[in-house]
């Protein structure tokens, strides 16, 4: 049960029930979708990017608690950050949800995103946690092509 509690922390459940930044933000000029063929979940990430800074971020779509909360928390975390910072944040986040050891150190600098640390114990759910992030990176690459977790 403790691993389940670690996965479904109250912050995650809160963002699942009340997702932040849903919809298309003002000034949005980039977007991309991510699909998880395993479950059919789809998320579309919208970004307003100016001067290499993410001015605003939003998302559409619904999925499991992990993917919805991840999209919600991601849009909060990347707002106001430079593209280089966003890329660093993505790498730290991916490390957090996939790596097996050194849990505590990796949480530094992740802020609220650290609540996804429990995902590492559930390998099949890593795709849920990273779906919105992959879509966001696709949007930043400006290609805007739909990405797949596969």
Query: 69 near 15, Cβ under 8 Å?
Result: yes
Gap between the Cα atoms of 26 and 143, Å rounded: 20
Residue 17 or 88: the one with the smaller Cβ distance to another protein is: 17
Residue 53 or 65: the one with the smaller Cβ distance to another protein is: 65
Residue 12 or 86: the one with the smaller Cβ distance to another protein is: 12
Of 11, 24, 39, 126, the one binding another protein by CB under 8 A: 39
Six-digit token string for 136: 């966001």
Subset of residues 59 to 88 that bind another protein, contact rule: CB under 8 A: 62-66, 68
Please tell me the count of residues contacting another protein according to CB under 8 A: 22
Contact between 7 and another protein (CB under 8 A)? yes
Query: 137 near 45, Cβ under 8 Å?
Result: no
Query: Mind giving me the DSSP string for 77-98?
Result: HHTT-BHHHHHHHHHHHHHHHH
Minimal distance, residue 122 CB to another protein, in Å: 6
Closest CA relative to residue 149, chosen from 86, 97, 76? 97
- Considering only the stretches 36-44, 49-57, 83-91, 95-103, report the one whose residues sit in contact with another protein under the rule CB under 8 A: 36-44
Gap between the Cα atoms of 33 and 67, Å rounded: 13
Q: Binding string, 94-113, against another protein, x = CB under 8 A?
A: --------------------
Of 92, 122, 137, 148, the one binding another protein by CB under 8 A: 122
Write the CB contacts of 94 (distance below 8 Å, at least 6 apart in sequence).
130, 133
Residues that bind another protein (CB under 8 A): 1, 3-5, 7-8, 13, 17, 38-41, 62-66, 68, 122, 124-125, 128
């Amino acid at each position: 049960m403790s691993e389940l509690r670690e996965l479904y922390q109250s912050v995650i459940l809160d963002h699942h029930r009340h997702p932040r930044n849903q919809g298309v933000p003002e000034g949005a000029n980039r977007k991309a979708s991510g699909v998880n063929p395993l479950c059919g979940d789809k998320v579309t990430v919208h970004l307003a990017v100016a001067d290499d800074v993410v001015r605003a971020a939003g998302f559409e779509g619904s999925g499991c608690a992990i993917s919805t909360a991840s999209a919600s928390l991601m849009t909060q975390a990347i707002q106001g950050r430079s593209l280089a910072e966003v890329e660093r944040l993505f790498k730290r986040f991916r490390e957090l949800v996939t790596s097996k050891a050194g849990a505590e150190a990796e949480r530094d600098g992740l802020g609220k995103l650290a609540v996804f640390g429990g995902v590492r114990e559930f390998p099949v759910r890593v795709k849920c946690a990273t779906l919105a992030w992959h879509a966001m990176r696709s949007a930043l690459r400006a290609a805007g092509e739909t990405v797949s977790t596969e």
